[in-house]
Amino acid sequence: MNVQPKIPETQPAQAGAVAISARGLRKVYAGTKRSPQKEALKGVDLDIPRGSIFGLLGPNGAGKSTFINILAGLVNKTEGDVSIWGFDIDRNPRQSRASIGVVPQEINMDVFFTPKEALDIQAGLYGVPKSERRTMDILRALGLEDKADAYVRMLSGGMKRRLLVAKAMVHNPPILILDEPTAGVDIELRKQLWDHVLGLHAQGVTIVLTTHYLEEAQELCDRIAIIHQGEVVACEPTEKLIASLDNKTLVVTPLEPLSSAPDLSPFGCELRSDGQLAIPYQPSKAQVAYILERLSAAGVRVKDLSTVEADLEDVFLKLTYNSGR
C-alpha cells in the first residue's frame, strides 16, 4: 500500500531542498508574579532537509516542544521567520500547517470512537473531501485494519501509538513530526512502530524525531540537531557529529590477571571487574602504539585489545550537561 505525501496546493519555487527552515526564531513567555519571564528559544537558526530522518534532541526544558508547537500553530513565536515546505507560517498559515502531521507525546484521543471514526473526524478537520479520504488505506499501512471498528479504549498502548501516527497522516503531509513516539513503549512495540514509520519515509515522507532514547536517534537519524537552553548547540550529519568528539577508549585484556591498574601516565587507566583495562585517549593526540609502549614499560603483557568509539550519548552529554552553559 502506498501513502504518498501530498504537496499542499502550489509549492513555492524557492522551497529548494529544505523541508523546514527557521531563522532568528525566538519565543519569550511572559512572566507572572510567581514566575519570571522565560526565553524558551533564543534566535534559533535551523534547516531540516527534505527526505531526511532528522533528530531534534535536548534535555527537558531545552525548547524542543516550543519549537514543535510553533510549527503546529499551537504557540505564537515572538520573533523570527519560519517556513514549512516553503510556506511561511505567517503569510501562508493554512498551507504550512497542511504540510505537517504531528504525533504528540501524550496519548490523547476520544476512547469512545473507533479508529475509523477517529481518522474520518481528523480528515474532516483538515478539510479532506470524503471522496479523497484514505482511511482504510492508512489503517492498513499501520497494521490497524482489523481494529477499524473496535473502540479506541480496547486498543493496546502500541496500537494507540500507531493510531496517533495514522491521525497525523490523514491529509498526506510531506512532513511527519514525532514527539517522543516510543516513550513508555516496550522494545517489541517500538520496533513495530519504527517499521511503519520507516515505511512512510521510504515513500518520501520527511521525518522529524524528538526522543530521549539516544541509541534510537543514532541508529535512525541521518542528521541531528541538539538544542540546549533555547539554542542550537550542534547540527550535523550523525556520523560527523559523533566523530567530532575526539575520544576513544582502548580496552585491553592482560595475558595475566592484574590486582591493580598500572600507572600509564599521562593516560588514565581503570581496572574493570572483568579484569580488562580501560584506557581513554584522544586519537588526535596519541596513537595506540604509544599506549602499548606504556603498557609494556609497566610490565603488562597484552592478550587482546579493542577500541570503543564515542557514541551519541557522549556527544549529548558534552554539549549539554557538561557544557557549563
Name residue 224's beta-bridge partners: 55, 236
Residues of the chain with CATH 3.40.50.300: 13-99+173-239
Residues of the chain with CATH 3.30.70: 246-309
Which among 41-45, 224-228, 306-310 has the top mean pLDDT?
Answer: 41-45
pLDDT digits (tens, 9 = 90+) for 197-226: 898 899 899 999 998 778 888 889 999 999
pLDDT digits (tens, 9 = 90+) for 98-156: 999 998 888 888 888 999 999 999 999 989 999 999 999 989 888 899 999 999 999 88
Cβ-contact 170, 126 below 8 angstroms: yes
| ∠ Cα 295 297 300 (to 5°) | 45
- Domain 246-309 fold: Alpha-Beta Plaits (3.30.70)
Q: Which CATH architecture has domain 13-99+173-239?
A: 3-Layer(aba) Sandwich (3.40)
Measured distance CA(22)–CA(94) in Å, rounded: 18
Cβ-contact 99, 168 below 8 angstroms: no
150 CB neighbour count, 10 Å cutoff: 14
pTM equals 0.75
